[in-house]
Structure 1
Amino acid sequence: MTRSYHSPRRAQDAATTRRDILRAAVELFSANGYARVTVADIAKRAGVAPQTVYSSAGSKSEILHRIIGEAVAHSDSATTTEAVRQTHDLAEALRLLAKGTRQGNEGGQQVVEVLFASIPVHEDGAALWEQSTGAYREALREVAHHLRDEGLLGMDVERATDVLWFCFGFGAWRTLVKECGWSWDDAERWLAAQAITMFSR
């Protein structure tokens, strides 16, 4: 019976190659659009052969799902929701949420651009959108539950989740910063103020 051999060095090299491929894909997708980028383009940017792209990270569609999946996994939303749970003041909770979602969107803005550019042309755009927004909305729902438990909500949890998504979801940050040219600081202050006004009615 042949015993399998595991090489830590080989596994590390494979992980590095996959990371380089995904980084190259993010750069190309955000600069040129998902539809215009080929596996050969990704391979060239990453400095590997096209077959290595397929064997390491998969097809172009699979690469996109990997990119979104890793962004969701590293979003650090738990830190923000935990900070919100520690406060009993509505305005402070919403300012903390503005700060946390700002950090996530600012740090992941390349991936957000890839997401918005790819959904209209991706063969499974609806699933991709659900993959990217599901955990985000769930974190906002946790905040809404906390506000309700503190007696700070004048609406039900689902409506509050929708309002939080309107104020702090991908679209809010992207509209102000990318489309309108606002600074991240100005966007954070304004979105927090709008949310405070909406929930104080």
Structure 2
Amino acid sequence: MSSKRAYISPLREQAAAQTRALILQRAAELFADRGYGRVTVADIAAAAGVASKTVFASVGSKGDILDRIVGQGVVASGYEQAMRQVLALRTPEAVLEALARGTRVGNEGQFTVHEAIRKALPVHEDGEVLWERATATYRDALRTAARHLHTLTPPPSGSVEETADLLWFWFGPTGWRTLVVENGWSWDRAEDFLRRTAAATLC
């Protein structure tokens, strides 16, 4: 007795992927604007122009949606390519300039995702775990940059761990948000300031 293989339409799969992407985009925007706790699946469905059951079938619950947003944010940050460029540089000044530029691009491009995650932390049942997951790769990249800086001439004073902490202080998401969101600086001004501050301290 022969069994028929289920046919999967490429066009249907493409449409489903586009629907998922739209749902996640609208959800991130709503979470960033209103806060995770004030957004319902019905709100997300309305913003994406689909039924609530489509949201559940395509992406899952509100918690599942946030998890996907975090995962996409890590992938979309482009940190791997940026770190390859950083590790190829041979002067501390060039490394810090690249870090300022790379983290600016990542934070500016992923601003909505970062805000969605940040506003979810106070009400999410695993907020601390969520933030660690969202920032672990980011911190690891800056630790790698710190180790690289200590191989260059002149190396920073202090330990690699201290340098990594300082890089996180300057170039981590909180530093960018403080200057751009809380103080109203432009991204250009923030990038220039953070680069100069880091260079003056470490070089």
Identify whether the pair has TM-score above 0.5, normalized to the shorter chain.
yes
User: How far apart in 2 are the matches of 1:161 and 1:5?
Assistant: 52
1:186 is matched with which residue: 186, 189, 197?
Answer: 189
Residues 1:20 and 2:7 are matched in the alignment: no
User: How far apart in 2 are the matches of 1:34 and 1:148?
Assistant: 41
Deviation at 1:12, TM superposition (A): 0.5
User: How far apart in 1 are the matches of 2:144 and 2:60?
Assistant: 34
1:198 is matched with which residue: 184, 196, 201?
Answer: 201
How many residues in Structure 1 have an aligned counterpart in Structure 2?
200
Q: Which has the higher mean CA deviation after the structures are superposed, 169-178 or 152-161?
A: 152-161
1:103 aligned partner, one-letter code? V
Deviation at 1:74, TM superposition (A): 1.1
Please give the residue correspondences for 1:136-155 in structure 2 after superposition, counting only pairs within 5 Å.
136-151=138-153, 152-155=155-158
Q: Cα RMSD between the aligned structures?
A: 1.2
1:92 aligned partner, one-letter code? A
Partner of 1:170: 173
Please give the residue correspondences for 1:1-201 in structure 2 after superposition, counting only pairs within 5 Å.
1-151=3-153, 152-200=155-203
For 1:30-69, what per-residue CA distance to the aligned partner results, in whole angstroms no more than 9, with x for missing partners? 1111110000000011111111101111110110110111
Tell me, what secondary structure is at the counterpart of 1:145? helix
User: How far apart in 2 are the matches of 1:42 and 1:69?
Assistant: 19
User: How far apart in 2 are the matches of 1:58 and 1:130?
Assistant: 22
1:170 aligned partner, one-letter code? P
User: How far apart in 2 are the matches of 1:153 and 1:191?
Assistant: 17
Deviation at 1:4, TM superposition (A): 2.2
User: How far apart in 2 are the matches of 1:81 and 1:154?
Assistant: 22
Tell me, what secondary structure is at the counterpart of 1:149? coil
Moved over 4 A (4+): none
Deviation at 1:198, TM superposition (A): 2.2
Deviation at 1:158, TM superposition (A): 2.2
Q: Which has the higher mean CA deviation after the structures are superposed, 25-34 or 152-161?
A: 152-161
TM-score, length of structure 2 as denominator length: 0.94
Percent identity (aligned): 49
Q: Which has the higher mean CA deviation after the structures are superposed, 80-89 or 56-65?
A: 80-89
Query: Tell me, which stretches of 5 or more residues in structure 1 are unaligned?
Result: none
2:56 aligned partner, one-letter code? Y
